[in-house]
A and B are shown apart, each in its own frame.
Chain A
Amino acid sequence: MAERPEDLNLPNAVITRIIKEALPDGVNVSKEARRAISQAASVFVLYATSCANNFAMKAKRKTLNAGDVLAAMEEMEFERFLEPLREALEVYKKDQKGRKEVSEQKRKDKEKKTDSENDKSREEEEEEEEQQRMEEEPEEEPEEEEEEVVEN
């Protein structure tokens, strides 16, 4: 497994929180255990990605999609994850759709204040771009990134 300085680790604070929420109240989790779980989680991502990628390659696709990830979970014998994953995905997709509509509406409202003729063509262009962006790798919004509590 590659050990790179650019952290292939997940933020400790978040991992710790997830562990605490999964266990009964008051359980003491050693620092070593936390670190080990974090490393295990990274390995899990790699394993899942590799597995999902096999499915994508079999289907002659270059882009990993949701189906590939779900298939990977089954392959890895984590069927117990399938249902919660599917449910979460539905909520996520609805949320994404809602956000897209909201931002498009906001943009339309804003543009109505300026020259309307220029807007029409620009709107279409931007919609196309947005479509492309949704299909390719997602751009990360700054609000998503968790501030890492420096513990190491």
Chain B
Amino acid sequence: MAGRTHAEDCVIERRLRPIYEWLDSGVNKKAVQEADKVLRKQPNLHCARVLKGLALLRMGKEEECLALVGQVVKEGPTDETTLQALTICYREMHQPEQICRVYEVAVKGEPGNEELLSHLFMSYVRVGDYKNQQQTAMKLYKLRPKNPYYFWAVMSHVMQAHKSVDPKGKEVSLLLAERMVNNFVKNSKIEAEAEVMTYLHILETQGKYEEALAVLDGPLASKVVHQPENFLSLHRGKYHMCLGQWAAAAAVYRDLIHREPDNWQHYVEYIRSVIHLTTTTTTTTTTAAEDPLVEASQFLSGVRQRAVEENSKDRGPLLGLLQLARALREAGKEDKIPQMCGDPADLLLTYIEVYGDKMCCFGDIVNFLPLIDEERVSGLLERVRNLYRVTSAGVPVDVEAVYRDLCWHQLRRALGQQEGLTAGQHQSFANSLVNLYTNTQNLAANMADTDIRPEDAYLILAAHSYIKAIQLTSPPSTSPPPPANPGEGGAGWG
């Protein structure tokens, strides 16, 4: 289409504005009327026709829209406004591939138009056509050598790799991407943080962790500036773990625990690296001083001790040794627990002493309960019970006591203290929980309506016990009840 002058463009824009406004307000009938008004003056105006089609589409007249829009497309429009309107149309018709076709034609007409090429690239992204994406990105880069365009091409290779079913194809795409980035690295063209992260991603996906570590140690790492403090360290730790370099990984995580004593993932990974280190180190060659488990135990004890002394609010340090015990158990080295971690029951009790008055307490320790031997259970439960006061009727005296009581009830249940009860006993237990709920409501009466009340959990526990009572009373059926026939009225599972 012949180019328009700027003055002509302004006139057209002014004429089209009412159509846009009606479309935005959702008054599609008026949009059609306005479009017709414009078309009476300029019957061939592409944009007005497409906008009319869009209004028709939104009125439910998809066939008319398709016909109208299809006609315009045949005429090969290249102006931005029409193309954008077409994009909206095709998106709402769920035909994103058509957008690609439209922009392909436009680009053929104006191959040097950076704006059109960008839109063409986006249209391929929308449909996941990575090959065309990559080629368009390179065309853009050749037209205007900006880093983003280059990296659009790089990412297109990466996306092709991710989508590839054939492992050889995947390998090739990733290598291509890596080579492209290496090219830039060699010529010092890397600018943005996102480019470095892309590079790391490419190396990680290929399992090239040594090279990734080299990037972290090199000048590129300094470009990663907008991330949380622990970002680079976490990556470093991960790469060491993937390479089986357990001692190096352990060192990274130990440092992270020092800097962020409450960040749980550091503990988990630290302990994982230590366990691996233990299994790969022969016991005959290590003295007690070199034993990685001893070192870990001392480190975690130290962290715990400091937290206790400083009265810190961090929950992590108090659970470190328990996690070590749990990991040892999972690795089949339960025998080492007493020496390395101490008594799990004692460790749990300390935690419950400090945090038992918070709702989160039970959830925090639930994964460590298997560490408690059966004969220690009642002793632990009794010590937990003694941490708070109840009235002679067994009702907690204040809000803190309610939370601790709830924790105790949950512990009892999880540690199997309700296994042997009969249906009747479950039911009366549930009744007693409901009583506790009613008798403690006054303690938190002033709380906002939008908050969970401390006593609410009694009802949840009661419900569980009621269900247990029901299950024990009615014999289990061997097949599910038949579904209610919709034709008949009558009882059934609604």
User: Do A and B come together as binding partners?
Assistant: no
Spell out A's residues near B (CB within 8 Å): none
Chain B residues near A (Cβ < 8 Å)? none
